[in-house]
Each structure stands twice: as structure tokens, then as C-alpha cells.
Amino acid sequence: MEILIVDRDGDFARRLKTKLLGMGRKADLFECCERAGESALERNYSLLIVNVEKVGDECSRFIESFNKARSTPVIVVSRNAEMETKIHHFKIGVVDYVVKPVDFEEFLARVDLQLRKRTLHSDVTSKLVFDDLTIHLSSGCVE
């Protein structure tokens, strides 16, 4: 499971990547959403972690357009604690909004939760199981 991190705060991003690697997670870092957007469309990330400063900024627009094309969960990290900004991002599909400074232990638990949900959703949508019968939805094979 790969994670895309977009944050201009290099110290935060590198520290987060190191902690994710310690959990056995791969992560790509970008400082701007434009470059991250290209990578996000080319690769199949399991989770995006994006720093947003305000409604309508480059990263906010990136999240909105990305969510129209993909169903990848997005967690926002921001120094902006304004309720209007939080609500806007939840309305455009963000699964979590965390205000900096971040408690890394709590934040990593939030990341892990989203990855577990994604795995569970993937398992649920890829096959149906009835007693001893399994139907693989992608191939149509029955076991």
C-alpha cells in the first residue's frame, strides 16, 4: 500500500514518511500539488495526505478534481483550524481533517484506520462469499 504525501513543510513530510516506513508503508513525497497530481493519476495510491492552507488553494482544487476521478481516501493536514475550511473539505470528499501541530501517534492511528478500511472495502467488493461458495467479481470465477 502506497501513500502520497503533499506538504510544503519538508520537516513534517520527511518525519511522517520515516514513521510510515517504520510501519512498513511506502510513501512518495511532493511539495506541490501540481506534480503530485501527475503522480496520483499515474499510480494507484491507497491514501493521500495533503496539506491545505485555505479553501480554493492549489491543493484544495487538486483534492476536489482528484475525488471526481478516483475513490482514494484523502486526509488533510493543515494549520488552518477554521470550521468553514474543514466543512468545505469534508463536502468535497476528504475522510479526515487534522490540524497541525500533529500528534504523530494519533495521526498514524488515523492513517492506519483509513488503510484498513480501504483493504476491507477492496476485499468486500472483489468477491462474494456464501457458505462454501465464493464468487470472484472481477473474473466471474466460482469456487
pLDDT in tens, the chain (143 residues): 899 999 999 999 999 999 999 999 999 999 999 889 888 888 889 999 999 999 989 999 999 988 888 889 999 999 999 999 999 999 999 999 999 999 999 999 999 999 998 776 555 556 667 787 777 665 666 77
* pLDDT of amino acid 79: 96
Residue 45: DSSP 8-state: -
Q: Which of 32, 85, 94, 90 is nearest to 66 (CA)?
A: 94
Report d(CA 114, CA 23) in Å as an integer: 14
d(CA 106, CA 59): 23
State residue 19's pLDDT score. 95
Quote the CA–CA distance of 87 and 103 in Å, as a whole number.
22
Q: Which residue type, as a one-letter code, is found at position 76? A: V
What pLDDT score was predicted for residue 104? 94
